[in-house]
């Protein structure tokens, strides 16, 4: 069971300790903090908590490309590398996985559409979605932010 306290800045902080690691969630109200704590406890009971550490989207892309390289054709790997280098890394490469939101992803797709790149948004979505799916499997992410964006 976690603990909920009022901080000096007026926010409510809920803590949960699992396996020697303490997790924090915050809310504007005590109710909001307790709700987030309950969600955190459910997630811990279902399959463990995600631990992105200090990894960035760029780190994820490197690991993902390394893993899929032996299973894909050389041309497909080259296409994924090009998409990552030209579109994903410049915008999201330095974003920490712990802070990656659907908003980040949606803004990337929208910027590509505004530039008049017709196929790029869907291709970038395919690559980024697959990379984030692997991050969920490895428990680097609790869920895939690419699944919560508007259709392209």
| Phi–psi pair at 38, nearest 5 degrees | -60, -40
pLDDT in tens, 28-39: 999 999 998 888
Sequence spans of domains, the chain: 3-47, 57-148
pLDDT for the residue numbered 51: 59
- The CATH code that applies to domain 57-148 is 1.10.150.130
> Residue 12 in contact with residue 22, Cβ under 8 Å?
no
End-to-end CA distance of the chain: 42
| pLDDT confidence band for 118 (50 / 70 / 90) | confident
pTM: 0.70
Chain segment 2-18, per-residue pLDDT in tens = 789 999 999 999 988 87
């Amino acid at each position: 069971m976690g603990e909920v306290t009022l901080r000096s800045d007026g926010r409510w902080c809920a803590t949960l300790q699992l396996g020697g690691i303490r997790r924090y969630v915050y809310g504007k109200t005590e109710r909001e903090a307790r709700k987030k704590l309950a969600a955190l406890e459910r997630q811990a009971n279902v399959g463990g908590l995600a631990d992105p550490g200090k990894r960035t989207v760029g780190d994820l892309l490197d690991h993902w490309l390394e893993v899929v390289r032996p299973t894909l054709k050389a041309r497909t790997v080259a296409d994924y590398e090009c998409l990552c280098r030209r579109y994903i890394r410049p915008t999201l490469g330095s974003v920490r996985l712990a802070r990656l939101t659907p908003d980040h992803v949606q803004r990337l797709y929208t910027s590509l559409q505004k530039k008049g790149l017709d196929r790029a948004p869907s291709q970038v979505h395919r690559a980024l979605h697959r990379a984030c799916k692997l991050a969920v499997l490895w428990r680097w992410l609790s869920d895939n932010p690419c699944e919560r964006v508007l259709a392209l």
